[in-house]
Structures are given as structure tokens and as C-alpha cells.
Homo-oligomer: A and B are copies of this chain.
Amino acid sequence: MRVLILGGDGYLGWPTAMDFAAAGHEVMVADNYMRRNIAEATDSDALIGAPCLSERAAIFEAVGGKPIKVRISDLSDPEVMFGLVREMQPDTVVHYAEQPSAPYSMRGFREARETFQNNLDVTFNCIWAVKEHAPDAHIVKLGTMGEYGTPDIDIEEGWIEIEHKGRKDTFLYPRAAGSLYHTTKVLDTDLLWFYVRTYGLRVTDLMQGPVYGISTDEADLDPRLCPNFHYDDIFGTVVNRFLVQAVAGVPLTVYGGGGQTRGYLNLRDTLQCVRLAAEHPAGPGELRIFNQLTETFTVNDLAERVQQAGNQMGLDVEIRSIPNPRKEKEEHYYNPAHSGLTELGLKPHYMSETVLGAMLERIIENRDRIVSDRIMPRVRWS
């Protein structure tokens, strides 16, 4: 299978590329280094520096024996996107190429506009490039569980049958996201759904929860193949951030009450989910939506698990609530369905003490690089 990965330099994009290549697929990655540039501009470098994409591809070819083609290019330019799709004629386009930080998208007008335009334009160009040059290709789009927000009813997988005044119909599950970044993904889904039903495109939209982890089979081959592991307030997801705080000896910063519940998954499971979706494509005219998570936790649960894993390794871990910089419910109902990917064959890697312990070890090896003042929230929602 020919797989084109948009946003192939990212925390998830790069390990996904290696995973597909290791499985024998022909892989091309494209990226414009937007995340790297934002990380530099906001003083949010990753814990472990990752070489540029062409270097990583060369290292992976040397140690893993599989080539990955690299294109450094701006996918918000339609000519670039059309050119790539025309050139490669992919069977699958995995679309990660979005500005992924919620806090960055809430920082001010410039950052909001950059997020809004990049994310929407890349999705728009991706749809049209596939429609015009590879209409049978399957788009695997990374959405987010954050699209749904925290409704007071069960979250279904993308669709909901509504019974109203004695009549019934099925709709896209209504969504209300908590940041502009998450809202761009709501808009992506609306746009994909329009073009799927109008032109018969094949799309899987993966509503992913926050990911944690640093280890994958291929990333473990060489330290330079490590995903971009962020622990800062801009790009660091909560579990990764807590683990770094545990190692740095600063309190784990719980935002507000800590009752915020989300669905989490291990980086290894992201790779499984994306590959399962690609290897079992949606049909023509189908917008298939999966909720991509394996277990749900409150922020307080996470803090306690990290504390426990830290204690096991002799770290003294304190937990401290700080004023919530976000606008979100701190106590709420949360019950998301997530059986679709399991039915396709997902075998979850749960958040065990062993998993957290292995991450802590890796962070301890790099503890000299931790800059503690990157961890506290620098952006407030209002």
C-alpha cells in the first residue's frame, strides 16, 4: 500500500511513518516544520531533540532497513498538496498536518489565525487533491475526542440517532469543543462529511484522546528515532507533562478541581489504530468515525498514578491544584463509546505502572534537559 503521511514530523506522524514502513508499506512523509518553528518561538523545545526529517529517514533506513521518502513542503499551498498526491498516487493519506496545540490556538489573534488557516486549508486541499488526483484513496484523518466536549449524555462513535416528536433520523453527533484548535477539527469533520456525501470520497475520522508514551518498536531502535516528546504547557499532553514534573521534582500541576475526565491511549495504540483503519478502509461515500481511546481517567486519577509510579522509583512526587487556565467543566458526566477499533483488532496497551515506570526511566536519562519554567501554563482562555 502507498501511504502519504501529512504532518510526518509530529509526535505521532513520525512514529506512524516508521510503523507503516516497517510493516512493508511504501511511505512518503510531508511536513513544513510548523510545530518545530512554534516550539522554538515559544521556548517549548522537546525533551529529546529529534533530527530533521531527512536525517531521521536516513537513520531509520540504516537501522530499520526501510526507506521513507521525505518532502519538506507547505501543505496549505494547494499546488504543493496536489503535486504530492499526483506524484505518489497514494492508497491512503494519513492527515496529521495540523497545528496541534490548544493553548497556542488560544494565545492571541495571530496564533488563532495561524491555527485556523493552516488546519482548515490543509484539510480543504487534502480533500480536493484526493478528489482530483486519487479519488479512490482513503483519507485517514486525525480528529479529536475534544470535538465532542463533555456532553451530559453518552458520546457515541461519530453518529447519533435522534428521536424527536415521534420521528427519527441519524446525524453527526453534535459537537462543542473547548479550544480553537479543537474547534478547527469540528470544522474539518463538517467539511469532510460534506465532500464525502457529495463526491463519494472514502474517509475515516479518528476521534483521538490525549496520547502518552515515548516508546514504539521502531523508535526504540535508535534514540535519534524518538518521537518529539514535549512536556511544556504548549505541546505537552497531560500524562507526559506529569511524568516530567515527577522527575524534575516539581509538583504535578492539576488544573482546577481535577475532575476533568478524558479518554487516553498509549502511543503504541495510536499506531495500531491508524494502521488498522488504513488496512480496513472506509467504503466510497462513507465517513467512518471511530473514538480512539482505550481507557478514561480524571486528571486527579492521572496525577495519582504518576505519583505512585514515581514513588516506586524513589521519587518524591507532590500534587498541587493550580487555577485552571482553561474554560472547562471540572466535574462532569463522561461516557464515550469506543468499540469500533477494538472490533477491527486493536489490542490495547493500558496505562500500567510498568508503562509509566519505563517512561520515567527514559525521562530520568534526559533530566538535565528539563527546563522547569516551561511547564506552568503561560496561556489563559480569557
Q: Residues of A with Cβ closer than 8 Å to B?
A: 78, 109, 112-113, 116-117, 120-121, 124, 128, 132, 151-154, 160, 162-165, 167-169, 171-177, 180, 183, 186-187, 190-191, 193-194, 197-199, 327, 333, 381-382
List, in ascending order, chain B residues with CB within 8 A of A171's CB.
151, 174, 176
The answer to whether A116 and B109 have CB atoms under 8 Å apart is no
- Kindly report which residue of chain B lies nearest to residue A200, judged by CB atoms: B382
List, in ascending order, chain B residues with CB within 8 A of A165's CB.
153-154
The answer to whether B169 and A172 have CB atoms under 8 Å apart is no
The answer to whether B191 and A168 have CB atoms under 8 Å apart is no
A124-B116, A187-B191 known; A153-B176 Cβ under 8 A: no
- Kindly report which residue of chain B lies nearest to residue A167, judged by CB atoms: B153
Q: How many copies does the complex hold?
A: 2
Q: In the complex the two chains form, what is the Cα distance from A213 to B183 in whole Å?
A: 37
List, in ascending order, chain B residues with CB within 8 A of A194's CB.
176-177, 180, 183, 186
Q: In the complex the two chains form, what is the Cα distance from A174 to B164 in whole Å?
A: 13
The answer to whether B152 and A169 have CB atoms under 8 Å apart is yes
List 17 other contacts, CB 8 Å, given A160-B162, A174-B174. Answer: A116-B120, A116-B124, A117-B121, A153-B162, A153-B163, A162-B162, A171-B176, A172-B174, A173-B174, A176-B193, A180-B194, A183-B191, A186-B194, A187-B187, A187-B191, A197-B327, A198-B381
Q: In the complex the two chains form, what is the Cα distance from A187 to B169 in whole Å?
A: 21
Q: In the complex the two chains form, what is the Cα distance from A174 to B187 in whole Å?
A: 13
Q: In the complex the two chains form, what is the Cα distance from A160 to B165 in whole Å?
A: 11
A285 smallest CB distance to B (angstroms): 11
7 pairs of residues in contact across A and B, judged by CB atoms under 8 Å: A109-B128, A153-B162, A153-B163, A171-B174, A174-B174, A183-B194, A198-B327
The answer to whether A183 and B190 have CB atoms under 8 Å apart is yes
A126 smallest CB distance to B (angstroms): 12
The answer to whether B174 and A153 have CB atoms under 8 Å apart is no
List, in ascending order, chain B residues with CB within 8 A of A160's CB.
162, 164, 174
Q: Return the contact of A153 from the options B117, B120, B164, B191 (Cβ within 8 A).
A: B164
The answer to whether B198 and A333 have CB atoms under 8 Å apart is no
Q: Return the contact of A190 from the options B117, B173, B186, B199 (Cβ within 8 A).
A: B186
Which of A168, A174, A327: most chain B CB closer than 10 A? A174
A309 smallest CB distance to B (angstroms): 35
Q: Return the contact of A124 from the options B113, B167, B169, B186 (Cβ within 8 A).
A: B113
The answer to whether B176 and A172 have CB atoms under 8 Å apart is yes
The answer to whether A154 and B164 have CB atoms under 8 Å apart is yes
A29 smallest CB distance to B (angstroms): 24
The answer to whether A168 and B186 have CB atoms under 8 Å apart is no
Q: In the complex the two chains form, what is the Cα distance from A190 to B116 in whole Å?
A: 13
List, in ascending order, chain B residues with CB within 8 A of A173's CB.
174
List, in ascending order, chain B residues with CB within 8 A of A113's CB.
78, 124, 128
- Kindly report which residue of chain B lies nearest to residue A120, judged by CB atoms: B120
A123 smallest CB distance to B (angstroms): 10
List, in ascending order, chain B residues with CB within 8 A of A333's CB.
167
The answer to whether B197 and A176 have CB atoms under 8 Å apart is yes
Q: In the complex the two chains form, what is the Cα distance from A165 to B151 in whole Å?
A: 13
Q: In the complex the two chains form, what is the Cα distance from A154 to B160 in whole Å?
A: 16
List, in ascending order, chain B residues with CB within 8 A of A153's CB.
162-165, 167-169
Q: In the complex the two chains form, what is the Cα distance from A152 to B171 in whole Å?
A: 10
List, in ascending order, chain B residues with CB within 8 A of A183's CB.
190-191, 194
Q: In the complex the two chains form, what is the Cα distance from A169 to B112 in whole Å?
A: 29
A128 smallest CB distance to B (angstroms): 5
List, in ascending order, chain B residues with CB within 8 A of A190's CB.
175, 183, 186-187, 190
Q: Return the contact of A169 from the options B116, B120, B151 (Cβ within 8 A).
A: B151
